[in-house]
């Protein structure tokens, strides 16, 4: 069986790296990796391949730093060339980026079977580019690997039971990764207090609205007076903060590799983020999480009070930080318990 995996952005390296490691255990499967180049800085891309020992991509398309249309269009053109040459049995895509959508469209046009990992997630915010990418990708996938019960429910609500596709509750590959890499965590070379809050901000809904971004930073400035904030800064956020002279009173650090990130999560007292993946990692490593967004796809974390949604209002962020209580019994199995990769591979091998 030949699988072409398409990836291009940081969270996809982390997810696909975990699956690739498992695929290598199956001699009957050949995996070809296409890296679209959507994320290309060394600390947003190479570091993950090196540290996590992800097989080097067979194809690097070098398509990054462009508008949505140019990026997605050029990816479709280049991915199609590779697929015509490689003739795989499956194309496998992850999550909700432009690379995901481009790979999905090529698969459907060339009649190659498509597997979507992290299918069925919805924020119900159609302004988010990620929401459009995931809805369109789901609709043309042959197998939809859902990480959670709510993802399955979303698809049922949209009538997917009547469509010609297979819906599988696989569990979440990020939990498989978190369990594997936990032991390999590395302390980053930065000054840290005993207690610190780990924060990341990069979602377009926050960075593209200067008022929202300023309010979030103002809240973090306030919190930093009593507890150190550690913020590995996404290049997009760094540029927007610099261009708009937003005052930031704590020290940001360059994006870190995954092993450093796992160390920071494990040793933090709280996570404050707009990242999708980091919300789950907070749960995997048993940390409370305040999410700087209006919606989340990971609704089970909210329902079970591991995570609180606060959006970007400064006072709401501060009130939640000062007053909220969180569930600290993390024994519930929400994401499959680390068996997602095996479930996915077994399903692909037995697909008829």
Which residues are near ligand UDP by CB under 6 A?
10-11, 14, 200, 202, 232, 255-256, 258, 261, 275-278, 281
Question: Rounded to an integer, what distance in angstroms lies between the CA atom of residue 141 and that of residue 137?
Answer: 6
Q: Is the dihedral of CA 185, 301, 169, 125 positive or negative?
A: negative
Min CB(22)–ligand UDP separation in Å = 17
Question: Rounded to an integer, what distance in angstroms lies between the CA atom of residue 106 and that of residue 108?
Answer: 6
Task: Please report which helix (H) or strand (E) contains residue 157, including its range.
Answer: helix 149-157
- Number of CB atoms found within 10 A of residue 343's CB: 17
Min CB(202)–ligand UDP separation in Å = 6
* Comparison of 2 and 68: residue with beta carbon closer to ligand UDP: 68
* Comparison of 31 and 51: residue with beta carbon closer to ligand UDP: 51
Min CB(38)–ligand UDP separation in Å = 11
Contact 234, 255 (CB under 8 A): yes
Contact 102, 137 (CB under 8 A): no
Catalytic residue among 35, 39, 116, 202: 202
Contact 182, 331 (CB under 8 A): no
Min CB(188)–ligand UDP separation in Å = 9
Burial class (CB in 10 A: 0-12, 13-18, 19+), 134: buried
* Comparison of 11 and 120: residue with beta carbon closer to ligand UDP: 11
* Comparison of 23 and 271: residue with beta carbon closer to ligand UDP: 271
Burial 72-95 (b: 16+ CB within 10 A, else e): bebbbebbbebbeebebebbbbbb
Q: Which residues contact 190 (CB under 8 A, 6 or more apart)?
A: 230, 253
Say whether 224 is catalytic.
no
The residues annotated as belonging to the active site are: 202
């Amino acid at each position: 069986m030949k699988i072409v995996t398409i990836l291009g952005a940081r969270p996809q390296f982390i997810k696909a790296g975990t699956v690739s490691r498992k695929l290598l255990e199956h001699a009957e499967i050949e995996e070809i990796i296409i890296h679209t180049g959507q994320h290309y800085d060394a600390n947003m891309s190479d570091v993950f391949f090196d540290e996590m020992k992800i097989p080097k991509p067979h194809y690097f398309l070098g398509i990054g730093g462009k508008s949505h249309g140019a990026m997605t269009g050029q990816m479709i053109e280049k991915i199609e060339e590779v697929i015509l040459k490689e003739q795989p049995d499956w194309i496998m895509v992850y999550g909700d980026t432009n690379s995901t959508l481009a790979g999905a469209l090529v698969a459907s046009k060339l009649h190659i079977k498509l597997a979507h990992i992290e299918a069925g997630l919805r924020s119900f915010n159609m302004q988010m580019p990620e929401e459009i990418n995931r809805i369109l990708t789901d609709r043309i996938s042959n197998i939809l690997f859902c990480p959670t019960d709510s993802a399955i429910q979303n698809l049922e609500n949209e009538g997917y039971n009547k469509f010609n596709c297979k819906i599988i509750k696989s569990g979440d590959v990020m939990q498989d990764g978190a369990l594997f890499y936990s032991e390999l965590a590395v302390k980053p070379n930065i000054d840290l207090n005993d207690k610190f809050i780990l924060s990341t901000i990069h979602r377009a809904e926050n960075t593209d609205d200067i008022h929202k971004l300023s309010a979030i930073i103002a809240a973090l400035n306030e919190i930093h007076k009593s507890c150190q904030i550690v913020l590995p800064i996404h290049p997009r956020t760094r540029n927007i903060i610099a261009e708009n002279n937003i005052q930031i009173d704590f020290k940001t650090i360059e994006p870190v590799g995954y092993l450093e990130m796992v160390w920071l999560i494990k040793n933090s007292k709280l996570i404050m983020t707009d990242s999708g993946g980091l919300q789950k990692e907070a749960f995997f490593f048993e940390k409370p999480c305040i999410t700087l967004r209006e919606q989340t796809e990971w609704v089970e974390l909210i329902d079970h009070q591991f995570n609180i949604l606060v959006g970007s209002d400064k006072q709401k962020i501060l009130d939640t930080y000062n007053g909220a209580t969180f569930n600290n019994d993390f024994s519930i199995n929400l994401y499959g318990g680390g068996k997602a990769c095996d479930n996915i591979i077994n399903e692909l091998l037995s697909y008829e």
